[in-house]
Chain A
Amino acid sequence: MAVRSLYEQYGVVAPGQRPGPGTLETKQIETVDNDVSVALAGALDAAHPTPPPPGTRMTATVETVDNDAAIVLDLALAAPAPRRPGTALTATVETSDEDATAALGGVS
């Protein structure tokens, strides 16, 4: 995976520019733990400070260095590649449900 600059990693959507409910968004978050559902929920919360109505389509990107997490997210990986423990992977999980954890459960 290409190393991302700190401008990209630390950039946040400018205040007052957050898209309204129903807008498809991507937000990246990193985790080094096993619980991808927690990371995904965090990413969705960050992308949607005000919870959108149930049924709103939401997207969050979860970055993990955990091998198990990569397996959990296998279906969502954009470019599957040989994975070794510690390999950094990025996957996008989409949910149309407010409950990100439940959505992730569907993926796994």
Chain B
Amino acid sequence: MSKQQGAVIIGSPCDEHAAAVARAIGDRARVSFVDAASLASGGWHWADGLHVGETGARHVPRRGWLRRLAPPDWHHGVGIGTLGGVEAQARLQLLAAAADGLAGIEWLTDYWATMRAENKLVQYQAARRIGVPVPECRVVANSLDLDGLGEAFVMKPLGLGAYTRDGVPYVVHARLVERGDPSLDGVSVAPFIAQRYVHAVRHLRIPTVGSRSWPCQLDAAGLPLDWREEDEAHTSWRASHDDSDVGALAVRVASELRLGYSSQDWIVDATATAWLVDVNPGGQWLFLPEEAASAVTSALADWLAHR
């Protein structure tokens, strides 16, 4: 294998998070971008590993960061088993091989760890394994099996929380549902997570890079169960240095899931207990306060540029 140099980001330079990290790397390392959308443009080949760069200057990157396999919406409407589906799968297979932990590039988080950690049930199992509080959850085919979760519980997607139907994009937020609600007849159609309701006093968003974390908090008063429904909530976060203990737990969760980077959602109840509710292996951080956002960007850039 030729001498390794530079860094590769699986993502798009049009993605503000990937672009911010590339800017922070500056001239410390040559940065290449590749994703499912850009593969057709060339600038790469596979020969016992991924080589990137223009013809004559191809090289194997030293380090890599898997931000996004494809731009949002890139695969919307592509049917499994169709020609488009087969072509899309081929692109993803290549990227998966490139981001495999044994492909010669050192990945912040490799493909398999990323995919594994995207699964909420896997996240919760991993967290419980190391003693991190996670609200009791069930996935059932019969709503009667939800008895015992309380008079009302949180319903949240096990799969993706966004889809397109008849050309219109939809989102599926977590919501509080009462036991016996007629909608629960639909639990058998496609698995959905039912989770014991924990009343949030504060929301925490905790990005982690390696052994470092930057807890940020949002007052839950007046917000919907899923704070993302409230536009204003996206800009109301503030750094929370008092939550360094929860930040340390977040680092342990990331480590258990073999995530070099994560963006985690926690809630803090009235007893000051912090509960893990979601782990995002490639989640966003730039909406957080500048202090935390720039620190995360720098940490990612430093890791990728490390010689």
Which residues of the partner chain B approach A17 to less than 8 Å between Cβ atoms? 168-169
Cβ of B162 within 8 Å of any chain A Cβ, yes or no, is: yes
- Tell me which of B159, B162, B183, B231 contacts A30 (CB under 8 A): B183
Asked whether B192 lies within 8 Å of A3 as measured between CB atoms, the reply is no
Which residues of the partner chain A approach B175 to less than 8 Å between Cβ atoms? 10
Asked whether A11 lies within 8 Å of B163 as measured between CB atoms, the reply is yes
Which residues of the partner chain A approach B183 to less than 8 Å between Cβ atoms? 6, 9-10, 30
Asked whether A7 lies within 8 Å of B182 as measured between CB atoms, the reply is no
- Band of interface residues on B: 20 to 34
- Tell me which of B171, B184, B185, B187 contacts A11 (CB under 8 A): B171
Cβ of A72 within 8 Å of any chain B Cβ, yes or no, is: no
Q: A4-B186, A7-B163 are in contact. Are A14 and B169 (CB under 8 A)?
A: yes
Give the CA-CA distance A65 to B155 in the complex, in Å: 22
Asked whether A14 lies within 8 Å of B170 as measured between CB atoms, the reply is yes
Asked whether B189 lies within 8 Å of A4 as measured between CB atoms, the reply is yes
Cβ of B90 within 8 Å of any chain A Cβ, yes or no, is: no
- 8 Å CB interface, A73-108 against B: 88
Give the CA-CA distance A9 to B188 in the complex, in Å: 13
- Tell me which of B170, B182, B185, B188 contacts A12 (CB under 8 A): B170
Asked whether A13 lies within 8 Å of B168 as measured between CB atoms, the reply is yes
Contact with A along B180-217 (1 / 0, CB 8 A): 00111111111010000000000000000000000000
Asked whether A7 lies within 8 Å of B190 as measured between CB atoms, the reply is yes
Contact with B along A46-75 (1 / 0, CB 8 A): 000000000000000000010000000000
Which residues of the partner chain B approach A12 to less than 8 Å between Cβ atoms? 170-173
B178 to chain A, nearest CB (A): 12
- Tell me which of B162, B169, B186 contacts A6 (CB under 8 A): B186
Which residues of the partner chain A approach B162 to less than 8 Å between Cβ atoms? 14
Give the CA-CA distance A15 to B155 in the complex, in Å: 20
Cβ of B157 within 8 Å of any chain A Cβ, yes or no, is: yes
Cβ of B165 within 8 Å of any chain A Cβ, yes or no, is: yes
Which residues of the partner chain A approach B163 to less than 8 Å between Cβ atoms? 7, 11
Which residues of the partner chain A approach B172 to less than 8 Å between Cβ atoms? 6-7, 10-12
Q: Which residue of B lies closest to A8 (CB)?
A: B186
Q: A3-B189, A5-B189, A15-B231 are in contact. Are A10 and B182 (CB under 8 A)?
A: no
Q: Which residue of B lies closest to A11 (CB)?
A: B170
Which residues of the partner chain A approach B185 to less than 8 Å between Cβ atoms? 3
Asked whether A11 lies within 8 Å of B189 as measured between CB atoms, the reply is no
Q: Which residue of A lies closest to B175 (CB)?
A: A10
Instruction: List 23 A-B residue pairs with CB atoms under 8 Å apart, sorted by A's residue number.
Output: A3-B186, A4-B186, A4-B189, A5-B190, A5-B192, A6-B155, A6-B157, A6-B189, A7-B157, A10-B172, A10-B175, A10-B183, A11-B171, A12-B172, A13-B168, A13-B169, A13-B170, A14-B162, A14-B170, A14-B171, A15-B231, A30-B182, A65-B182
Q: A4-B189, A8-B189 are in contact. List 11 more A-B contacts (CB 8 A).
A: A3-B188, A6-B186, A6-B187, A6-B192, A7-B157, A9-B183, A10-B155, A12-B172, A14-B170, A14-B171, A30-B182
